[in-house]
């Protein structure tokens, strides 16, 4: 049973993320991803690891997620760790760039 089965929006609104450090989520629904991005935007201090299951995305949904991930990569290193998002159809280059950004973030924060 998923934590989000009953009412995804209410569940997210009731999570006190102030002490949350890491959130790993295997996503099976594109609509849940869209809702979850709002939670991530409100709680950028949390390290996110999101993974989509094979066959869970349409071509259009894949393009939307690809653009979202590219915006993360284009933003570069920030104060908070970038979300690590993997999905079927993701290019190796984008996956590598996102991983590298995460590594650079941690090298920078542990050196400073």
Instruction: Please write the tens of the pLDDT for every residue from 24-60.
Output: 888 767 888 888 898 899 899 999 999 998 888 999 9
Indicate whether 14 belongs to any domain.
no
Indicate whether 65 belongs to any domain.
yes
Indicate whether 2 belongs to any domain.
no
Q: What is the pLDDT of residues 60-94, one digit of tens each?
A: 999 999 999 999 999 998 899 999 999 999 999 99
- What gap in Å lies between CA 78 and CA 59, rounded to an integer? 30
Report the number of distinct structural domains present in the chain. Answer: 1
Token couple for 37: 């991005």
pLDDT classification of 1: cutoffs 50, 70, 90: very low
Indicate whether 69 belongs to any domain.
yes
Indicate whether 96 belongs to any domain.
yes
Indicate whether 9 belongs to any domain.
no
Q: Residue 57 is part of which domain span?
A: 21-111
Which residues have CB under 8 Å from 41's CB, separation 6+? none
What does pTM read for this prediction?
0.83
Indicate whether 25 belongs to any domain.
yes
Token couple for 29: 């629904």
Indicate whether 62 belongs to any domain.
yes
C-alpha atoms less than 13 angstroms from C-alpha of 52 in its C-beta half-sphere: 22
């Amino acid at each position: 049973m998923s934590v989000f089965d009953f009412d995804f929006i209410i569940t997210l609104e009731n999570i006190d993320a102030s002490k949350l450090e890491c959130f790993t989520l295997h996503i099976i629904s594109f609509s849940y991803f869209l809702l979850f991005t709002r939670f991530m935007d409100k709680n950028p201090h949390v390290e996110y690891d999101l993974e989509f299951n094979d066959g869970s995305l349409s071509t259009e949904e894949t393009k939307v997620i690809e653009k979202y991930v590219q915006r993360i990569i284009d933003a570069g290193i920030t104060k908070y760790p970038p979300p690590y998002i993997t999905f079927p159809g993701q290019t190796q280059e984008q996956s590598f760039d996102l991983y590298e950004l995460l590594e650079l973030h941690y090298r920078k924060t542990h050196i400073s």
